Amino acid sequence: MLSAPEIRAQKGHRGLAMLTAYDYPMALALDQAGLDVILVGDSLGEVALGFDSTRSVSLAMMEHHVRAVANGATRTHITGDMPAGSYDDPAQAVQSARALIAAGAHSVKLEGALLPQVEAIIASGIPVMGHVGLLPQTAIGGYRKHGRSMDEADRLVDDARALSDAGCFAIVIECVDADAARRITEAIETPTIGIAAGSGCDGQVLVSADLVGLLPDPPPFVAPRADVRAIIQGAAAEFAADVRATATPTRHPACTP
């Protein structure tokens, strides 16, 4: 398992691979895949719980899912997302970060260049992953590609540099113009992990459900590498047909060893 300093040290040496997990079965599978980081993202609100946004996710929910993932992933670095409303000030940020670490995370991630919170968490001994560009918890600027104008790209570079200087071991760049994402990556010493930000980052992250085709209508920047949803539907349909076809309801062939 790579530590946070070891992940940061990969800058310029090789790409970093990160995927999300929200439960024990997915964590078991991903833990055997050679990933650098498993992210227990607050995207679980939309992906695992069916919420309209990440903003409905609570700290207690994040603790619950981090614990489930930690039960399955024993050889991969786990980063826990700090949900909206859990880091409004430095003291609260440290308390929330400690709760996720206690649940089994090795580091935490928070959105935006909130330097007092980041510095307080790092000072408490907990590694922090930063996040710039699209910030789903606040949807600053709306759900759009960020960094297309020179001024906005400059601000993103400044934010990422500040997070890097504060000690973040990695920084997620989400939904950012590819040229701006490349500028950020070249401007800082911290590795960047992109999502919908082009190929110029130091690594990439995807929602696992999108990668394996578990949900309908994946984002346009994702090319699913499997169709797990169809496999599940097919297996369930075969099971239902077998059960309905049996002449002895008390002894279903689908349940007989």
The verdict on whether 174 is a catalytic residue reads: yes
Between CA 78 and CA 95 the distance in angstroms is: 18
Question: Exposed, middle or buried: residue 27 (CB in 10 Å: 0-12, 13-18, 19+)?
Answer: buried
Contact 147, 182 (CB under 8 A): no
* Tokens (6 digits) for 162: 């500040």
* Tokens (6 digits) for 209: 């459900």
- The residues, any chain, with a CB within 8 Å of residue 179's CB and separated by 6 or more, are 147, 153, 198, 200
Contact 167, 118 (CB under 8 A): yes
Contact 176, 147 (CB under 8 A): yes
- Kindly list the distances between the CA atom of residue 182 and the CA atoms of 54, 186, 195, 229, in Å, as whole numbers in the listed order: 27, 6, 13, 34
Of the candidates 174, 186, 189, 238, the residue annotated as catalytic is 174
Catalytic residues: 174
